[in-house]
Amino acid sequence: MKSVMMSMAAGLLMTTAAPVFANDSVTAIANDPGQWGMQLGQYDGSRYSKLDKINKENVGDLQVAWTFSTGVLRGHEGSPLVVDNVMYVHTPFPNTVYALDLNDEGKILWKYQPQQNPDVIGVMCCDTVNRGVAYADGMVFLHQADTTVVALDAKTGEVKWSVQNGDPAKGETNTATVTIVKDKVLVGISGGEYGVRGHLTAYNIADGSMAWRAYSTGPDEDMLVDPENTMVLGKPIGKDSSLNTWEGDQWQIGGGTTWGWTTYDPELNLIYYGTGNPSTWNPSQRPGDNKWSMTIMARDPDTGMAKWFYQKTPHDEWDFDGVNENILADQEIDGTMRKVLVNFDRNGFGYTLDRETGELLVAEKYDPQVNWATEVDMNKDSETYGRPLVVAEYSTEQNGEDTNTTGVCPAALGSKDQQPAAYSPDTGLFYVPTNHVCMDYEPFRVSYAAGQPYVGATLSMFPAPDSHGGMGNFIAWDATKGEIKWSLPEQFSVWSGAMATAGGVVFYGTLEGYLKAVDAETGEELYKFKTPSGIIGNVFTYENAGKQYVGVLSGIGGWAGIGLAAGLSNANDGLGAVGGYAALSDYTALGGQLTVFAVPE
């Protein structure tokens, strides 16, 4: 199959003359603002709703309309889906799924309870979170912690098919959702801290059979690239582009996992996703650029063939995973309308690229405290074009093994982790939940053993010094210029996915448990309400019986809340997060609840 794909590469990498459309059922739901049918709202990842019955004038009157307990006390990421007046709610491990009838007071229509080996909990990095289910063609798709992909009948919860995507015994697990594009279910893999070799896999919706698998590292045929037609910054990537940047066969345990988000442009027929950190966290053990970890990838969803790559952090020395969402928008840059892709990377830089060609248009810091690099080289004639210019003082490799590199900003969890940003076409601004956190980082030599941690670094985390004293900000970003328009300081990192609406309101949640609503133009706080537990879920909205609702899952956990979620107390546990977020226990406690809000009649 791979050899056939390679021979077709040149033709497949060209943009077709006629638009190729996405899955009809997914598109129809996404085009109906009364439903919330995708985790990111739409294929473009904008998390923007056209609903405006809740707006700047009345959002201050929001009240709790109803609640639902999930029965699980760990970190609740992602959001429910709402399709045809049924809400599909997921939980962290054990990954229970509920179908609730919104026309009958949230009556439970069915409940799916996977039977998973609890040993997978011990292999999962950074909590037992799951970022939600997907919907298409009358089926609900769940990617379980143990990497089982399940297609459920949306009306009954009956299992239509299931397939195993990885092997937890090797450290392969899952925390991410799946994305449906045409007749394919796109599925990533977690486990970069166990030396897993990352990949994105497409399964056929009809029966779960594998259509293609594209690895992040290794031989060209494994990665589904064409050396002459897959591009990086306007040039062909060349033969053995990955193999040439690893020592020996390290690429086989090289990380580059794919546990983030996937977006899609139907007209270009390209999917976009990111790859994670290289393994191990000790950079001295893996000389070279370690391609293609830390990379934005653009691929043909029908075949998996890559059109272009862009590596944001070559030879990562700080665990700045590159998996964050790639938001698609049309914006004017230097007087010309461009089809852009906007990415807020863990490394602290906000990138704007041409999503058709991969041309780098803007790369600027979206947290002023970022210090590990001075800038990204934007000179196309430079040998370091497109690369971050690393500051020697904060280089964990230059400082060496068993040396504590202090004061690196941002911390390993990044200036933003997986919590998705939002984009409003009304303002042209991106709304970004951020971490305002720095770290000390000490790498050490580590040996690989399948299924065992392959980290090789000790971390501690703390608020960015000489700043507002807190650990987070919620910002509005102009991606055409790479500028912060306004910034709201928060005591803790903002680990909730944002949502923008046509009502001129942007919503997000806080680790203390507040749902907040702010003015999309000015950032003025218009409303807040404290839910029963810290919020790391993503805000969503829908209509039922002509009334607009806003909802969010609360349940403290994730990397920032792992101390509370897992009962850890050693400051260096949780890869340094336990000590950094120790004060969270003064403000919130474990929970697992959906809270839905509405403006009263």
Closest by CA to 60, choosing from 570, 587, 517, 550, is 517
CB count within 10 Å of CB 250 equals 21
Question: Per the structure block, which two tokens stand in for 250?
Answer: 């390290």
Q: At a CB cut-off of 8 Å and minimum separation 6, what does 559 contact? A: 126, 127, 413, 417, 574, 575, 577
Backbone angles phi, psi at 121, to 5 degrees: -60, -40
Question: Which of the residues 319, 321, 345, 417 is marked catalytic?
Answer: 319
* Contact of 100 with 87, CB cutoff 8 Å: yes
Q: What is the DSSP string of 406-429?
A: EEESS-TT-SS-S---EEETTTTE
Backbone angles phi, psi at 565, to 5 degrees: -65, -40
Q: What is the DSSP string of 63-114?
A: EEEEEEE-S--S---S--EEETTEEEEE-STTT-EEEEETTTTTEEEEEE--
* Contact of 198 with 212, CB cutoff 8 Å: no
Handedness of CA 145, 151, 153, 159 (dihedral sign): negative
* Contact of 387 with 379, CB cutoff 8 Å: no
Q: Is 153 a known active-site residue?
A: no
Buried b (16+ CB within 10 A) or exposed e, 333-365: eeeeebbbbbbbbbbbbbbbbebbebbbbbbbb
The residue type found at 355 is: R
First CA to last CA distance, the chain:
59
The residues annotated as belonging to the active site are 319
